[in-house]
Amino acid sequence: MGGNTFGQLFRVSTWGESHGAAIGAVVDGCPPCLPLSEADIQPDLDRRRPGQSRLVSQRKESDTVRILSGVFEGKTLGTPISLLIPNEDMRPGDYREMQEKYRPSHADYTYEAKYGVRDWRGGGRTSARETAGRVAAGAIARKLLAERHGVEIVAWVGKVGRIVAECDVEKVTRAEVDRTPIRCPDLVVAERMIAAVEAARKEGNSLGGAVVCAVRGCPPGWGEPVFDRLEADLARAAMSLPASKGFEIGSGFAGTDLTGLEHNDEFYMDGDRVRTRTNRSGGVQGGISNGETIYFRVAFKPTATILRSQQTVSAGREETTIEGRGRHDPCVLPRAVPMVEAMAALVLADHALRQDAVKPR
């Protein structure tokens, strides 16, 4: 009930509203003795926070995280880890009109239909601000995966509007991703993307696109039949993010253009390791990782809040108009990159623990 907890063995519950006192998360199930401090978490939050460039919301938040429990003398205890991120730049007055009017393509109407009440200050819990808790929790999962399993997760912006970057999922690094504020590793394409976002912002409009995520070093055997297939859990995680509208793994929809002979990933022996010559499966077969790089794409719609007049309906069920106000991203993609990485890390950390519980000794 409630839908605020994610995972089975590595479990995360997020809490807080966009313009409340704070937001945060509780991580339960993290194994003991993992070295951990705020310094391990803060870099991922810095990549997600607003105000970091002209391409994103200008809300000024430091997103400074505090660990309240679950860590002692620099190591995890195996007990719940509570994470607190204070809200610092709340301006609920910017949303006063939204108290009486439903914003197009937002969750104002649906939340009110479900609960009979809603927090109209920036969307409350439906705001992307909620994802700060996920990113903080994902940083813990990322460290667990890197230190105990050698798994690396890198995401980047692969598409803005109709501008597409073709990047090698085996080679892109986080340093390359962070060279530009749009977080596209192809510098030439990145400049075109930046220009498109700036043009949309000046017009009071917004753009969507897609984030590509690569998981390298995942061993074979992670994933559960049949409802908890690895790609199914990755899809659920990605589609739980605000503004997400699509998910595909490996060849995705493009794979439907191929025949079985063209699409199949043939096996071969690389020393004592079973490998595939191609990776159209995206590193997952039968819902279980095969040891190849896992790669997937997440589609994000254009930001719903635009600074243009639109038709809508009031809470009193009268037709009216509304114009977006406040501080919003003209394109969610740059800040979605650490969000996608975080959700991938949470899924993989959970499946790593589940595999540890069942694998032969």
pLDDT computed for residue 58 by the predictor: 58
pLDDT computed for residue 118 by the predictor: 86
Rounded CA-CA distance 92/341 in Å is: 30
pLDDT computed for residue 306 by the predictor: 87
pLDDT computed for residue 327 by the predictor: 64
- Compute the mean pLDDT over every residue in the chain, rounded to the nearest whole number: 92
**Ranges 49-58, 123-132, 309-318, 342-351: which has the least confidence:** 49-58
Instruction: Report which of residues 104 and 340 the model is more confident about.
Output: 340
What is the mean pLDDT of the segment spanning 283-289?
A: 98
Q: What per-residue string of b and e applies to 253-262 under the rule 16 or more CB within 10 Å gives b?
A: eeeeeeeeee
Q: Is the pLDDT of residue 28 over 80?
A: yes
With cut-offs at 50, 70 and 90, classify the pLDDT of residue 52: low
Class of residue 225 by CB neighbours under 10 A (exposed 0-12, middle 13-18, buried 19+): exposed
pLDDT computed for residue 145 by the predictor: 98
Rounded CA-CA distance 327/325 in Å is: 7
What is the mean pLDDT of the segment spanning 213-232?
A: 97
pLDDT computed for residue 19 by the predictor: 81
pLDDT computed for residue 97 by the predictor: 77
With cut-offs at 50, 70 and 90, classify the pLDDT of residue 292: very high
Percent of the chain residues past pLDDT 90, beyond the cut: 76
Beta sheet of 209-216, edge-to-edge order: 163-164, 152-160, 209-216, 294-300, 244-249
With cut-offs at 50, 70 and 90, classify the pLDDT of residue 56: low
pLDDT computed for residue 42 by the predictor: 97
pLDDT computed for residue 350 by the predictor: 98
- Top mean-pLDDT range of 57-71, 110-124, 160-174: 160-174
pLDDT computed for residue 254 by the predictor: 97
pLDDT computed for residue 127 by the predictor: 83
Residue 47 phi, psi (nearest 5): -75, -25
In the chain the domains, ranked by start, together with CATH numbers, are 5-358 (3.60.150.10)
What is the mean pLDDT of the segment spanning 165-191?
A: 97
Q: Is the pLDDT of residue 47 over 90?
A: yes
User: Coil, strand or helix: which one is 46?
Assistant: helix
Give ∠ CA 61-65-241 in degrees, rounded to 5: 70
| Alpha-carbon dihedral 47, 189, 297, 130, rounded to 10 degrees | 30
pLDDT in tens, 71-123: 999 999 999 999 999 988 656 666 677 788 888 898 889 989 999 988 887 77
Helix/strand/coil percent split, the chain, to 5: 35, 25, 45
Rounded CA-CA distance 222/284 in Å is: 9
pLDDT computed for residue 128 by the predictor: 86
